[in-house]
């Protein structure tokens, strides 16, 4: 096995190369190796300076995330942090210039090692960031102390609380990077290091106070950060801890700040928030691994795409392809619908441009990649076609029959259906192995989830190609089985039903929404439905009734259908569960809903009475987890983590709570089961414990440890 950290000398400069694939994480041995090599360089007469660089595709992408789970208590965390802080000081105290050469990403501990070097150079495509909060922790190796000294308080607070990566250009402008190297990075870094050695220059970031010396400005930036977190943190604690650590260092000096960082890091790394976020990080990567679809399954290269239907979803899906640089034909059945679809796409891009998210040139480029058409001409060039026509089985059958005729035999045939059985139209194409569901969420150009629906005959190559494609489209792909509503919407039906029933029992729409947003959801169930459209669900129910089916067993509230009949579809009609003033999206509670709830309660023969917030949260979350257990038992979802990833990306479920299945585990499955049984006794037999919930509770296991993930 090659050494994790290698030492060589080139042109009078010691080169310290980290070689820990795939992302050069700071696994045990890597920090120590860097330490040893820098110490060796300091004493090496053949070296006038040092360059720290990563082998492979990237610099250091951070601490080894797997290691956090092995920290048993605060003492161990604090001890480890002290050691890494001391190690970084030793690098910083090197008497010879130490230059960090960045390509790929320098994230978390990676950026912290880079900042302990005297200078940083980067290739134009490099990215840097402190994404620790996304894992429920804070930078723990001096990041909250050195970053403000390089780029000031406002930027460091932004980076440490939001966790986003920034490109080399901005990093240079902010003072995080000292030079961009065009061409060969190592050669550029060596030249830079030699120049610094010749000038006798080194620079310790921990001693640079110029950017934080204005305490009044720093205090204002910190206050602004806390105020903004009140709106955005949605119950997460780590972002506040990051602000506290930065504040300590800015106001009381590097040493006091470092001590505070070490302390806060220990709290965070042992928190449920961090455990949940780390589990979700790995769940997201695990979702790309599908049993029966080996890693080496051949995949098709998607170079050209086509979308059928330019409505709400088709337009957004076409934008996804164009954004990824893939030319896409957009087919409609008539000119007016095509023009409307294109105008919506153009408007969406223009909005992005007006917000400075895209340049006019970028808008022109993506628009030129979307080619409108009313015929199938050119479909024989497509590597994939995504069907997004009306939700009608006969129509889909006829479109798939067309696609079987007009596309190449190897073309992937995807459907965006949200409720229909893909097996029923896969055959129409004559190539069911190529047929798969690509279920995007509205707005398709924004929402990151893509449920990849595996039909009875879907081939593994089609699945592997879809997973690879999801990543290219900047989506999170999760493979799910074929059933009504797949994973996301099947479970959502139970979530929504509980909301409706709680309303009939006496809770109010604003109360229920408030409980769920207090839990961390971006929007409550009723607010969400006003955005998505009450008509969408109502039409699905109508269709199901017409074929003698229903979405779920047991009571269904009539209130949403009454709203539909009244033309109250939600925000788009100015009224739904709430009222909206013209041009506004601010929900205004509407007494009419209380009247409808009274009427429904009367019809059900129940008296409305106050419902506690605890009851609301428990009923909704237990309903979700119980149906999640059925989804797992029926193998519609492969793992509990897949469900949690789906809920995080499909509905904005608060990540720090891990997802509906992780949340149930945190409550304890015996408790969840007891609640299901209590609701059954109190509310009726439509509450049935999922067999898997029963089994796991009896075995004293959680969903995750049953799946082999603690």
Q: What interhelical angle do 30-43 and 74-92 show, nearest 10?
A: 30
What is the chain's length? 710
Q: According to CB under 6 A, which one of 5, 18, 65, 176 is a site residue for ligand 3HC?
A: 65
**Binding flag, residue 31, ligand 3HC (CB under 6 A):** no
Write down the least CB distance from residue 136 to ligand NAI, Å: 31
The answer to the question of residue 421 lying near ligand NAI (CB under 6 A) is no
Q: What is the DSSP letter of 314?
A: H
| Greatest CA separation for the chain | 90
| 22 binds ligand 3HC, rule: CB under 6 A | yes
Q: Which is nearer to ligand 3HC, 116 or 563 (CB)?
A: 116
Cis? peptide before 3, omega within 30° of 0 = no
According to DSSP, the residues that pair with 437 across neighbouring strands are 415, 453
Q: Cβ 132 to ligand 3HC, closest distance in Å?
A: 5
CB of 552 to ligand 3HC, least distance (A): 35
Count of residues binding ligand 3HC (CB under 6 A)?
22
Applying CB under 6 A, among 156, 418, 458, 557 the residue interacting with ligand NAI is 418
Binding range to ligand NAI, per CB under 6 A, among 280-288, 332-340, 356-364, 592-600 = 332-340
Min separation Cβ 649 and ligand 3HC, Å: 15
Backbone angles phi, psi at 471, to 5 degrees: -65, -40
Q: Which of 389, 349, 340 is nearest to 369 (CA)?
A: 349
Task: Report, in Å, the least distance between residue 267 CB and ligand 3HC.
Answer: 14
When asked if residue 143 is in the footprint of ligand 3HC (CB under 6 A), the reply is: yes
Question: The dihedral of CA 444, 450, 455, 460: what is its sign?
Answer: positive
- 131 interacts with, out of ligand 3HC, ligand NAI, none, CB within 5 to 8 A per kind: ligand 3HC
From the list ligand 3HC, ligand NAI, none, which binds 478 (C-beta under 5 to 8 Å, kind-based)? none
329 binds, among ligand NAI, ligand 3HC, none (CB under 5 to 8 A by kind): none
Cis peptide before 443 (omega within 30 of 0): yes
Identify the burial level of 236 via C-beta atoms within 10 angstroms of its C-beta, where 0-12 means exposed, 13-18 middle and 19 or more buried: buried
Q: Which does 524 bind (CB under 5 to 8 A by kind): ligand 3HC, ligand NAI, none?
A: none
How many whole angstroms separate alpha carbon 664 and alpha carbon 75? 30
Q: Which partner, ligand 3HC, ligand NAI, none, binds residue 54 by CB below 5 to 8 Å per kind?
A: none
Residue 108 interface partner, choices ligand 3HC, ligand NAI, none, CB cut-off 5-8 Å depending on type: ligand 3HC
CA contacts within 13 A on the Cβ side of 649: 26
Candidates 63-71, 117-125, 240-248, 647-655; binding stretch for ligand 3HC (CB under 6 A):
63-71
The SS3 call for residue 413 is strand
SS3 for 10-72 is ECCEEEEEECCCCCCCECCCHHHHHHHHHHHHHHCCCCCEEEEEECCCCCCCCECHHHHCCCC
| Residue of the chain from 24, 105, 145, 626 that contacts ligand 3HC (CB under 6 A) | 105
Q: What is the DSSP string of 369-403?
A: HEEEESS-TTGGG-SEEEE---S-HHHHHHHHHHH
- From the list 92, 112, 158, 332, the catalytic residue is 112
Binding ligand NAI by CB under 6 A: which of 71, 126, 308, 622?
A: 308
Grouping H, G, I as helix, E, B as strand and the rest as coil, residue 506 is coil
Binding residue for ligand NAI, selected from 314, 437, 485, 628, defined by CB under 6 A: 314
Helix-strand-coil percent breakdown of the chain, rounded to 5? 55, 10, 35
Helix and strand numbers, DSSP H then E, in the chain = 29, 19
Sequence-ordered list of residues with C-beta below 8 angstroms from that of 551, at least 6 positions apart, any chain: 484, 485, 493, 540, 541, 544
Piece of 226-234, 348-356, 385-393, 492-500 that binds ligand NAI (CB under 6 A): 385-393
* 132 assigned to active site: yes
Segment contacting ligand 3HC by CB under 6 A, of 104-112, 220-228, 361-369, 458-466? 104-112
Which residue from 140, 134, 109, 164 is spatially nearest to 279, judged by alpha carbons?
134
- Cα–Cα distance between 163 and 135 in angstroms, integer? 9
Q: Which of 112, 332, 513, 535 binds ligand NAI (CB under 6 A)?
A: 332
Stretch that binds ligand NAI, among 23-31, 120-128, 331-339, 671-679 (CB under 6 A): 331-339
> Which residue from 37, 133, 135, 218 is in contact with ligand 3HC, where contact means CB under 6 A?
135
Q: 480: part of which helix (H) or strand (E)?
A: strand 476-481
Under the criterion CB under 6 A, does residue 66 sit at the interface with ligand 3HC? yes
Binding positions for ligand 3HC, 261-300, rule CB under 6 A: 285
Show the site string, 522-541: x = touches ligand NAI by CB under 6 A, - = not: ----------x---x-----
* 416 interacts with, out of ligand 3HC, ligand NAI, none, CB within 5 to 8 A per kind: ligand NAI
Cβ pair 652, 521 in contact under 8 A: yes
Question: Of residues 4, 23, 38, 575, which one binds ligand 3HC by CB under 6 A?
Answer: 23
- Does position 416 bind ligand NAI by CB under 6 A? yes
Q: Is 327 one of the binding residues for ligand NAI (CB under 6 A)?
A: no
The dihedral of CA 88, 92, 95, 100: what is its sign? Answer: positive
Shortest reach from residue 24's CB to ligand 3HC, in Å: 9
Instruction: Find all residues with CB under 8 Å of 289, minimum gap 6, and list them.
Output: 295
**DSSP SS3 for 242:** helix
**SS3 of residue 259 by DSSP:** helix
> Do residues 616 and 507 make contact, with C-beta atoms less than 8 angstroms apart?
yes
Distance of CA 476 to the CA centre of its chain: 7
Yes or no: say if 487 and 637 are a contact pair by the CB < 8 Å rule: yes
Query: Which residue, 330 or 512, has its beta carbon nearer to ligand NAI?
Result: 330
Q: Which is nearer to ligand NAI, 73 or 392 (CB)?
A: 392
Supply the Cα-derived Rg of the chain in whole angstroms: 28
Cα→Cα distances 135→9, 56, 240, 319, 502, Å:
37, 25, 14, 30, 34
Could you say which of ligand 3HC, ligand NAI, none residue 312 binds, taking C-beta under 5 to 8 angstroms by partner kind? Answer: ligand NAI
Segments in 335-487 forming alpha helices (H): 335-354, 360-369, 393-406, 422-426, 460-472
Question: Of the listed pieces 2-10, 103-111, 558-566, 659-667, which binds ligand 3HC according to CB under 6 A?
Answer: 103-111
- Mark the segment that binds ligand NAI (CB under 6 A) among 236-244, 386-394, 611-619, 700-708: 386-394
For ligand NAI, which is the closer residue by CB, 311 or 554? Answer: 311
Catalytic pick among 92, 132, 174, 273: 132
Q: Closer to ligand 3HC by CB, 108 or 537: give it.
A: 108
Residues with catalytic function: 112, 132
**What residues line the site for ligand NAI (CB under 6 A)?**
308-314, 331-333, 337, 388-391, 395, 399, 416-418, 440, 442, 532, 536
**What residues line the site for ligand 3HC (CB under 6 A)?**
22-23, 25, 61-66, 105, 107-109, 112, 131-132, 135, 139-141, 143, 285
């Amino acid at each position: 096995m090659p050494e994790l950290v290698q030492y060589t000398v080139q042109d009078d400069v010691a080169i310290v190369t980290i070689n820990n694939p795939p992302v050069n994480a700071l696994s045990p041995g890597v920090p120590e190796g860097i330490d040893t090599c820098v110490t060796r360089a300091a004493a090496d007469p053949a070296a006038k300076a040092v360059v720290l660089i990563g082998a492979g595709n990237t610099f250091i992408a951070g601490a080894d995330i797997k290691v956090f789970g092995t920290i048993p208590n605060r003492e161990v965390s604090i001890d480890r942090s002290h050691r890494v802080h001391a190690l970084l000081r030793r690098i910083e105290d090197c008497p010879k210039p130490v230059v960090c050469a960045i390509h790929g990403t320098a994230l978390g501990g990676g950026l912290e090692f880079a900042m302990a070097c005297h200078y940083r150079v980067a290739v134009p495509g490099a990215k840097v960031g402190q994404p620790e909060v996304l894992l429920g922790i804070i930078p723990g190796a001096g990041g909250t102390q050195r970053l403000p000294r390089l780029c000031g308080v406002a930027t460091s607070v932004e980076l440490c609380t939001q966790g986003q990566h920034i490109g080399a250009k901005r990093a240079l402008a902010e003072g995080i990077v000292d030079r961009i190297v065009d061409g060969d990075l190592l050669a550029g870094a060596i030249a830079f290091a030699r120049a610094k050695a010749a000038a006798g220059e080194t620079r310790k970031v921990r001693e640079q106070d110029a950017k934080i010396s204005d305490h009044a400005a720093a205090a204002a930036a910190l206050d602004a950060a806390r105020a903004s977190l009140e709106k955005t943190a949605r119950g997460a604690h780590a972002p506040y801890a990051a602000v506290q650590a930065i504040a300590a260092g800015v106001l009381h000096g590097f040493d006091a700040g470092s001590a505070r960082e070490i302390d806060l890091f220990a709290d965070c790394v042992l928190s449920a928030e961090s455990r949940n976020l780390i589990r979700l990080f790995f769940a997201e990567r695990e979702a790309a691994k599908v049993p029966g679809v080996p890693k080496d399954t051949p995949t098709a290269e998607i170079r050209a795409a086509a979308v059928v239907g330019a409505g709400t979803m088709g337009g957004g899906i076409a934008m996804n392809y164009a954004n990824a640089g893939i030319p896409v034909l957009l087919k409609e059945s008539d000119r007016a619908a095509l023009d409307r679809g294109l105008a919506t796409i153009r408007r969406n891009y223009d909005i992005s441009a007006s917000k400075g998210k895209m340049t006019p040139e970028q808008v022109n480029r993506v628009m030129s990649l979307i080619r409108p058409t009313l015929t199938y001409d050119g479909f024989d060039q497509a590597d994939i076609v995504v069907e997004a026509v009306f939700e009608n089985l006969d129509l889909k059958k006829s479109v798939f029959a067309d696609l079987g005729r007009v596309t190449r035999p190897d073309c992937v045939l995807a459907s965006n259906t949200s409720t229909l059985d893909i097996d029923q139209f896969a055959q129409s194409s004559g190539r069911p192995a190529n047929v798969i569901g690509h279920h995007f969420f509205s707005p398709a150009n924004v929402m990151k989830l893509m449920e990849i629906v595996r039909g009875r005959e879907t081939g593994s190559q089609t699945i592997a190609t879809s997973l690879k494609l999801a990543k290219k489209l900047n989506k999170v792909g999760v493979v799910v089985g074929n059933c009504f509503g797949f994973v996301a919407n099947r479970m959502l039906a139970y979530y929504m039903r509980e909301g409706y029933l709680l309303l009939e029992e006496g809770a109010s729409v604003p109360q229920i929404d408030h409980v769920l947003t207090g839990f961390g959801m971006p929007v409550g169930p009723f607010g969400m439905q006003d955005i998505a459209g009450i008509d969408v669900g109502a039409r699905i129910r109508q269709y199901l009734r017409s074929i003698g089916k229903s979405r779920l067993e047991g009571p269904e509230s009539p209130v949403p259908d009454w709203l539909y009949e009244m033309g109250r579809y939600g925000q788009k009609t100015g009224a739904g569960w709430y009222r909206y003033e013209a041009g506004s999206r601010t929900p205004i509670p509407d007494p009419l809903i209380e009247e409808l709830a009274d009427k429904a309660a009367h019809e059900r023969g129940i008296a409305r009475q106050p419902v506690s917030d605890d009851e609301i949260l428990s009923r909704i979350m237990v309903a979700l987890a119980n149906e999640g257990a059925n989804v797992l038992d029926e193998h519609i979802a492969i793992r509990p983590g897949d469900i949690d990833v789906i809920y995080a990306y499909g509905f904005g479920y608060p990540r720090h709570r891990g997802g509906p299945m992780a949340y149930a585990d945190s409550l304890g499955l015996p408790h969840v089961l007891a609640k299901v049984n209590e609701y059954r006794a109190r509310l009726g037999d439509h509450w049935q414990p999922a067999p898997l919930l029963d089994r796991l509770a009896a075995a004293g296991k959680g969903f995750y440890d049953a799946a082999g993930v603690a």
